[in-house]
Structure 1
Amino acid sequence: MEYVSRVPAPPLDRFIDDIYCLTGPPRHRRMNVPPMPSAHLFLNLGEPARLWDCDPSVPPAVFTDGWFMGLWTRRFVVEYPARVRLVGVHFKPWGLSPFVDVAATELCDRWVPAGDVWQRSLDRIRNRVGESASATETLRVLEEELRTRLAGQPPRGLDLVRHTGGRLETSHGGVSVGALTDAAGVSGNHLAAQFKSHVGVTPKRVARIYRFARLILSVDARHPVDWAALAHAAGYFDQAHFSREFKDFTGHAPTQYLALRRRFPAEPGFAPDSGPMPAD
């Protein structure tokens, strides 16, 4: 499967980490995806994809056209079709807010059909991309559509969330909520309310996901792993807490995860393999 991505030009880069295309047969059909500090848009230009939540009370979903996902705070499983043709957006945790008219709390830990939120945009992209557009052309069309959707005036409170969220991003979740509120000159309750409005969760939860992402992306299965040192470097100071959170987020204990990563090594330079793991 080919992965082509790029960071969009300003001002989109304030809200989006990258836009990308996935095409071709996947190495693994089912992938177990841990929480990452991103919201998502997936536009499916090929066969249907399937999703399973780790919460057994949530029914699985089949998507033909695409889907939005807000910040995801638990793992899920995606099943690709035999041949993939998918274009996607990795939004920053607060990045969906200016592009959709849906409350962040309604998208957090949920997948919503793209047509329910972006039907006209979805139709325009499909009409312009067609059956044989290159990855470069597809990304150009998507970026143009994103630019037209970006509101001129940011929603109230988004600048505060973007600024404080940016500090969490650059520190990998290493800045305390108290330090964020002191620097911003607002109360903890106000900051939490603005994060819930634009991200769907509190800044403390966002910091937790950034911290875990730093750890999981730093695992090098080619060499022995000192889990205690890795956890400490990522900001975990309680080993029992680290072990519980690792299993919650991946479905595996750290040693089990490492064994799987060695069995199914990530393809160098292939971002979709950097956090997710084969589910079977």
Structure 2
Amino acid sequence: MAGPRRDTRGIVDAHGLFARVRFRRHAPAAALRPYLEHYWLIDWDLDEPYETHVVPHPSVNVVFQRSSGGPDHAEVAGIGLELFTRKLEGRGRVCGVQFRPGGFRPFAPGRTVSTLTGLHEGLREVFPGAAPSVPSAVLGPESDAERVTALDDFLLSLGPEPLPDADLAMALVQRVREDRTMRRVDRLAQAGGMSVRALQRLFAAQVGVGPKWVILRYRIHEALERAESSGPVDWARLAAELGYSDQAHLVRDFTATVGVPPTAYAA
């Protein structure tokens, strides 16, 4: 398995964020890698508040948080449909688990993933067997290695169950991520050997959002990362590369997701 991603896709103004916080990604234990993208760790100690924005991935996250002397707590964050914004103040720490799209269901086989979409639920609401001490066990250690071990221990204790439908969903999402020519839902359904309706049901149960949403979101992530690059961007050409019928469609989707047009964001 490849190591954690090194790109900044989804992070709005990544340079500004990284200038203010310590951001790291770590690989989970080998037994968890089929289901997880990575762990993501953030620590900050700020003189002034900073507002961070993220265009969410089609992934469920488990997030352990400590900030400004408040109690340690944890939640399960379903896929966010809108721009995620959070104000960071004072001192704080977050330890997060990003599941592969389709990789969460093996840990909660009784939960259709779409029932979490757009929601944040307490850790013990989703995993009733989780010990109350888990958040502090994850957030307490100073070393990354100890935090990663605590995350591994918690997730392994849940006993993820391999699910053929989850494996199929993960493979199809990966196909969308890697193959720019995969622009149509009917083509993705054909690649999976199923009808469009069956693909939609699979994604609702295992991923949490529809296949069209996933296709569009990965294209916006790529456009966002391209806008962060140092050189000028040919937006008409990029729109064609990403499968848009014209530049106006890319501009509309980018603006609706990020809040400003791509040219304004790049500037």
User: Please, what TM-score do these two structures have when normalized by structure 1?
Assistant: 0.77
Q: Deviations over 1:120-150 (max 9, x none)?
A: 4363433534634312210111022212224
Q: Which runs of 5+ in 2 are unaligned?
A: 1-20
Q: 1:158 corresponds to which residue?
A: 166
Q: 1:211 corresponds to which residue?
A: 219
Q: CA separation in 2, counterparts of 1:71 and 1:132?
A: 28
Q: CA separation in 2, counterparts of 1:122 and 1:28?
A: 33
Q: Which amino acid aligns with 1:151?
A: P
Whether 1:46 and 2:67 are equivalent positions in the alignment is yes
Choose the corresponding residue for 1:70, options 74, 78, 82: 78
1:20 and 1:139 in contact (8 A); partners too: no
Choose the corresponding residue for 2:255, options 247, 253, 275: 247
Q: CA separation in 1, counterparts of 2:180 and 2:159?
A: 27
Choose the corresponding residue for 2:114, options 101, 105, 115: 105
Choose the corresponding residue for 2:94, options 86, 98, 103: 86
Q: CA separation in 1, counterparts of 2:135 and 2:145?
A: 15
2:25 and 2:38 in contact (8 A); partners too: yes
2:65 and 2:73 in contact (8 A); partners too: yes
Q: CA separation in 2, counterparts of 1:93 and 1:143?
A: 19
Whether 1:146 and 2:155 are equivalent positions in the alignment is yes
> Root-mean-square deviation (CA), in Å?
2.6
Q: 2:45 corresponds to which residue?
A: 25
Choose the corresponding residue for 1:6, options 6, 14, 26: 26
Does the C-alpha gap of structure 1 residues 44 and 96 become closer, same or farther in structure 2, counting only changes over 3 Å? same
Q: CA separation in 2, counterparts of 1:144 and 1:91?
A: 16
Q: CA separation in 2, counterparts of 1:64 and 1:126?
A: 6
Whether 1:117 and 2:161 are equivalent positions in the alignment is no
**What is the SS of the residue equivalent to 1:88?**
strand
**What is the SS of the residue equivalent to 1:45?**
strand
> How high is the sequence identity, in percent, across the aligned residues?
26
Q: CA separation in 1, counterparts of 2:135 and 2:142?
A: 10
Q: Deviations over 1:62-98 (max 9, x none)?
A: x961322222222121122321211001222212212
**What is the SS of the residue equivalent to 1:219?**
helix
Q: 1:275 corresponds to which residue?
A: none
Q: Which amino acid aligns with 1:147?
A: L
Q: Which runs of 5+ in 1 are unaligned?
A: 50-62, 260-280
Does the C-alpha gap of structure 1 residues 48 and 38 become closer, same or farther in structure 2, counting only changes over 3 Å? farther
Q: CA separation in 2, counterparts of 1:152 and 1:117?
A: 16
Q: Which amino acid aligns with 2:249?
A: H
2:219 and 2:242 in contact (8 A); partners too: yes
Query: After the TM superposition, which of the residue ranges 239-248 and 165-174 deviates more from structure 2?
Result: 165-174
Q: Which amino acid aligns with 2:55?
A: P
Q: CA separation in 2, counterparts of 1:136 and 1:110?
A: 30
**What is the SS of the residue equivalent to 2:85?**
strand
Does the C-alpha gap of structure 1 residues 238 and 35 become closer, same or farther in structure 2, counting only changes over 3 Å? farther
Q: CA separation in 2, counterparts of 1:64 and 1:131?
A: 9
Q: Which amino acid aligns with 1:31?
A: T
Query: After the TM superposition, which of the residue ranges 106-115 and 203-212 deviates more from structure 2?
Result: 106-115
Whether 1:228 and 2:249 are equivalent positions in the alignment is no
Q: CA separation in 1, counterparts of 2:140 and 2:31?
A: 29
**What is the SS of the residue equivalent to 1:98?**
helix
Greater relative contact order (Cα < 8 A, sep 6+) = 1
Does the C-alpha gap of structure 1 residues 121 and 173 become closer, same or farther in structure 2, counting only changes over 3 Å? farther
Count of equivalent residues: 245
1:38 and 1:70 in contact (8 A); partners too: yes
